Amino acid sequence: MTQNVVREIVSNNAVLYLPDGQTIELPVITGTENEKAIDIGKLRSQTGHITMDPGYGNTGSCQSTITFLDGEKGILRYRGIPIEQLAGNARFTEVAYLIIYGKLPNQQELDAFRDSLNQHALLHEDMKHFFSSFSGQAHPMAILSAMVASLSGYYSDESAVDTNGGLDVNAARLMSKIRTLAAFSYKKSIGQPFVYPRDSLSYCANFLRMMFAVPSRDYEPDPVVVEALNLLLILHADHEQNCSTATVRTVASSHASLYASISAGILALWGPLHGGANQKVIEMLEHIRADGGNIRKFIDLAKDKSSGFRIMGFGHRVYKNFDPRATVIKNACDKVLNKLGIEDPVLDLAKQMEEIALSDDYFVERKLYPNVDFYSGIIYRAIGIPVDMFTVMFALGRLPGWIGQWKELMDDPTHRITRPRQVYQGQTVVDYVAIENRD
Ligand code: CMC
């Protein structure tokens, strides 16, 4: 008999046999989509053992009602609604409301939410000076995170841990101001005057105007561009317990404010293995193009572990068949570029790379497919977003998810501070040695 494995599932309990002869019955939690989890909450107190799961690939950190994801079947739903339906029909503000408040808003609720976003779109005028303090080399994600953290200095009273009235106002503030912050940081980087938000415009059109309008000229956002942005933001709006969301929840679990938690989430998103991959994909494709466009060479490089090179925008911890977001974005890519009359040679390179990789044993065996970041940058570039702002766009899209997850954690009376354990492998007890006696 194999020891130290979970041996049996008895009705709603799992029985674990440990190598020292102990046996423990652990409750099994079943989700609404029949996902099963063994609750090990009492494992250490009853047996002295902990579990080990670096990277948390097998660890559930919470029970959530926000997003359902089936990586084998390529399913993604927000509050039960398939991502494909939302992408084809909804506005980003509706989806944000859905994720934060748990239901699609009726017209009255949506109007009130939009009014609230408009009411909070401006920044405190003092904050404009902050932009001058960053070095010219500062990455927009560093600026965004710092600016979001700074908001707590202006709105500290309500921002503590209130998930009722306080949440409404802070959620609206963040949703609205993050867009203004992102656009202002771009304007600062190119030396143009800030363009203030305009209430009559939709969420996406308003952002595009703040990004691209100049005082000397009229600006009318292109509806094709507005639609493309709306689609991308919806597809990024939540993705259950990914690295940045887990970060937001971890920070929130210490009862840090919404602003502090989201500022931390932005920094987690910045990494190239997470949201930062969208910038890296375009840089990689441009590099391949400049190198002569030999895709096979780079596929082989990615297969050679000693190279340290990975195909950016490929692979996913959870999706092992296809990433449904990537499917929608790939289809949108052709349409958006056609409508805008743009030919991007990098799109052809990306398609070739996907085709070659998907027929290569290395990628097939490891179930590595294009993820959300593989094609999104091609659309962002086509609609005029500079490459180093790509991950900022991801953050704008992911914000409702972070807010909804923050609220869910705070509303859960059973939540505890996040505090993983470890197995210590260092030196056992040794005596302190005075400096003159050290080797
Ligand atoms: N190119 C080449 N090989 C890869 C890649 C890749 N992009 N991704 C994974 N592998 C290999 C990896 O070397 C390993 O091989 P082996 O089994 O021989 O050691 C195997 O596939 C499993 O990889 P892993 O690193 O254990 O998988 P993970 O679940 O820990 O990491 C990932 C997932 C997304 C970090 C990883 O696939 C990756 O680095 N992808 C490139 C970065 C990227 O596109 N990130 C965006 C993710 S989607 C947006 C979001 O963050 O939500």
Atom of ligand 1 nearest to the CA of 366: 21
Pocket-testing residue among 242, 273, 363, ligand 1, by greatest number of atoms within 8 A of Cβ: 273
Instruction: Enumerate long-range contacts of 85-90, CB under 8 Å, 24 or more apart.
Output: 86/234, 87/231, 87/234, 87/235, 87/328, 90/234
Pocket-testing residue among 314, 353, 375, ligand 1, by greatest number of atoms within 8 A of Cβ: 314
Shortest-distance Cα residue to atom 39 of ligand 1: 273
Contact 216, 159 (CB under 8 A): no
Q: Whose CA is closest to 146, among 182, 96, 199, 105?
A: 182
For residue 159, what pLDDT is reported? Answer: 53
Compute, in angstroms, the gap from residue 231 CA to the centroid of ligand 1. 25
Compute, in angstroms, the gap from residue 316 CA to the centroid of ligand 1. 6
Compute, in angstroms, the gap from residue 233 CA to the centroid of ligand 1. 23
Q: Which of 236, 238, 316, 323 is catalytic?
A: 316
Q: Which of 323, 373, 388, 411 is catalytic?
A: 373
| Greatest CA separation for the chain | 79
Shortest-distance Cα residue to atom 8 of ligand 1: 315
Model pTM?
Answer: 0.95
For residue 3, what pLDDT is reported? Answer: 47
Q: Whose CA is closest to 140, among 193, 186, 174, 179?
A: 186
Distance (Å, whole) CA 378 – CA 279 = 10
pLDDT averages per 10-residue partition of the chain, 439 residues = 54 87 93 94 95 96 97 96 97 98 98 97 95 91 96 74 73 96 94 96 97 95 96 98 98 94 98 97 97 96 96 96 94 94 93 94 95 94 95 98 96 94 98 97
Shortest-distance Cα residue to atom 26 of ligand 1: 317
27 token code pair: 């409750």
Q: Between the CA of residue 117 and those of 179, 217, 431, what are the distances in Å?
A: 10, 26, 60
Bridge partners, 77 (sequence order) = 68, 82
Query: CB-side exposure of 31: number of CA atoms within 13 Å?
Result: 15
Q: DSSP string of 6-66?
A: EEEEETTEEEEE-TTS-EEEEEEEE-TT--EEE--TTHHHHHS-----GGGTT------SS
287 labelled catalytic? no
Shortest-distance Cα residue to atom 47 of ligand 1: 274
Shortest-distance Cα residue to atom 2 of ligand 1: 310
Compute, in angstroms, the gap from residue 365 CA to the centroid of ligand 1. 13
Shortest-distance Cα residue to atom 3 of ligand 1: 310
For residue 2, what pLDDT is reported? Answer: 43
Shortest-distance Cα residue to atom 16 of ligand 1: 366
Contact 319, 74 (CB under 8 A): yes
Residues with CB under 6 Å of ligand 1 are 55, 239, 242, 273-275, 277, 302, 310-317, 366, 368, 371-373
Query: CB-side exposure of 80: number of CA atoms within 13 Å?
Result: 6
Distance (Å, whole) CA 365 – CA 58 = 20
274 labelled catalytic? no
Q: DSSP string of 398-415?
A: HHHHHHHHHHHHHH-TT-
Distance (Å, whole) CA 156 – CA 258 = 10
Which regions of 262-405 does DSSP assign to beta strands (E)? none
Bridge partners, 314 (sequence order) = 370
User: Token match 């005082």: residue?
Assistant: 215
7 token code pair: 């041996």
For residue 1, what pLDDT is reported? Answer: 43
For residue 354, what pLDDT is reported? Answer: 94
Compute, in angstroms, the gap from residue 252 CA to the centroid of ligand 1. 28
Sequence-distant (6+) residues with CB within 8 A of 115 are none
Compute, in angstroms, the gap from residue 314 CA to the centroid of ligand 1. 7
In this structure, how many other beta carbons lie within 10 angstroms of the beta carbon of residue 88? 11
